[in-house]
Amino acid sequence: MTESVTETRRGLILINTGPGKGKTTAAMGTALRAVGNGMRVLMLQFLKGSWHYGELDSTKAFGENFVLRQMGRGFVKIGGAETDPEDIRLVEEAWEEARQAILSGVWDMVILDEINYAISYGMLDPAKVVETLEARPEMVHVILTGRNAHPSLVAIADTVTEMREVKHAYQKGVVAQRGIEY
């Protein structure tokens, strides 16, 4: 790494998308790296809420430096008229909290976990997200996860990674495993 590269600090937009496993956990790995650098990380989980993920407990060890909040209730029914208004309300609430967190400058990194699903299900307008990301304080890093990342978000992101599924245990009938999936 050259000196000029290390001296030039700026907030980045990262997207972890694609059908393979590892989008959320890669974001948490990045959070772990950031917290170790003395940064403060907020992770808001859109749509999640019904499962008890291990990370809800492990992040508590980091106190106010790594805060994780589930903003949904899980098992969202999708598709136009079938979308439950309560789920849309929860997404709107999650987005409002996300927007304020990103603009506040209180957090060095904000992770919007599964936000890509909320957008692709038509529950959140991607233009609102683009507008907020473009208006954020310049040192704030934002990570967005979930399949089917919207092209307008991919366009403004700095680093976009698409997880490709080579195989997944689920395909041979293995149920979700503690410590791996939750």
Contacts with 56 (C-beta within 8 Å, 6 or more apart), sequence order: 68, 70
The yes or no reply on residue 23 touching ligand ATP (CB under 6 A) is: yes
The single residue among 147, 154, 160, 161 that binds ligand ATP, judged by CB under 6 A, is 147
The yes or no reply on residue 59 touching ligand ATP (CB under 6 A) is: no
Question: What is d(CA 70, CA 93) in angstroms, rounded to the nearest whole number?
Answer: 11
User: Of 12, 56, 7, 2, whose CA–CA distance to 34 is shortest?
Assistant: 12
User: Of 75, 69, 41, whose CA–CA distance to 55 is shortest?
Assistant: 69
The yes or no reply on residue 17 touching Mg ion (CB under 5 A) is: no
Shortest separation between residue 153's beta carbon and Mg ion, angstroms = 16
The yes or no reply on residue 23 touching Mg ion (CB under 5 A) is: yes
Q: Are 94 and 114 in contact (CB under 8 A)?
A: no
The single residue among 21, 40, 69, 73 that binds ligand ATP, judged by CB under 6 A, is 21
Q: Which residue has the tokens 């990570």?
A: 143
The single residue among 86, 92, 131, 165 that binds ligand ATP, judged by CB under 6 A, is 165
The footprint of ligand ATP (CB under 6 A) covers: 19-25, 114, 145, 147, 163, 165, 168, 170, 176, 181
